[in-house]
A and B are shown apart, each in its own frame.
Chain A
Amino acid sequence: DVKVTQSSRYLVKRTGEKVFLECVQDMDHENMFWYRQDPGLGLRLIYFSYDVKMKEKGDIPEGYSVSREKKERFSLILESASTNQTSMYLCASSFVYTEAFFGQGTRLTVV
């Protein structure tokens, strides 16, 4: 059974804080993704990674960075959290050209 695990279900952070969201997968997938999910806007891709230390920007990378030092772990970093980054964040992973498996999501609130 594929497992994609996000480190936190709920987070509350203050404006200006540096925030780390962690994601771990146990299926040796090459690809890992970070999305944010907002009502009416669907899932918007922030960044994805196709290999260790490799990354590509998605549709909304501004204000975010990522790190992938190990194949199983993909971190999303909010350099200086702002209230407009309050959202549900979803991590996913996949092999090349196969279905993506999703984590349970992290609901981040920035106050």
Chain B
Amino acid sequence: AQRVTQPEKLLSVFKGAPVELKCNYSYSGSPELFWYVQYSRQRLQLLLRHISRESIKGFTADLNKGETSFHLKKPFAQEEDSAMYYCALRGANNAGNMLTFGGGTRLMVKP
């Protein structure tokens, strides 16, 4: 079974402060990890995926297989980063391409 855990439901920081949204996963094979974001009144959209190893809107995430984690980081938070963030895992086995999400973390960036 595959499982994604986001331990924080809410993270509140001041503008300019560093941000780290935690994500831990459980999966026996080789997973593909994603971060999705949902801004107010918008549909859920991809923020980044681990295989592309790129920085989007200043966010980065590194897959740590030893700790089974995929934490999302940004050195200096902006007010426009306030949104709901979801970590997701796609398994690469016979279970198909099931995409499993965590419980989400609401990020609030205060001025």
Residues of A within 8 A of B95 (CB): 56
Q: B86 interface residue, CB < 8 Å from A?
A: yes
| Inter-subunit contact A42/B96 (CB<8 Å) | no
Q: Which interface class (under 10, 10 to 19, 20 to 34, 35 or more) fits A?
A: 20 to 34
Secondary structure type dominating chain A contacts: strand
Q: What's the tally of chain B residues with a CB closer than 8 Å to chain A?
A: 23
Docked Cα-Cα span, A90 to B86, in Å, equals 14
| Inter-subunit contact A42/B43 (CB<8 Å) | no
| Inter-subunit contact B97/A45 (CB<8 Å) | no
Considering the complex, which residues of chain B in the window 24-53 have a beta carbon less than 8 Å from any beta carbon of chain A?
32, 34, 43-46, 49
Name the residue of chain A whose CB is nearest to the CB of B42: A104
Binding site for A on B (CB under 8 A): 6, 9, 32, 34, 43-46, 49, 86, 88, 90, 92, 95-104
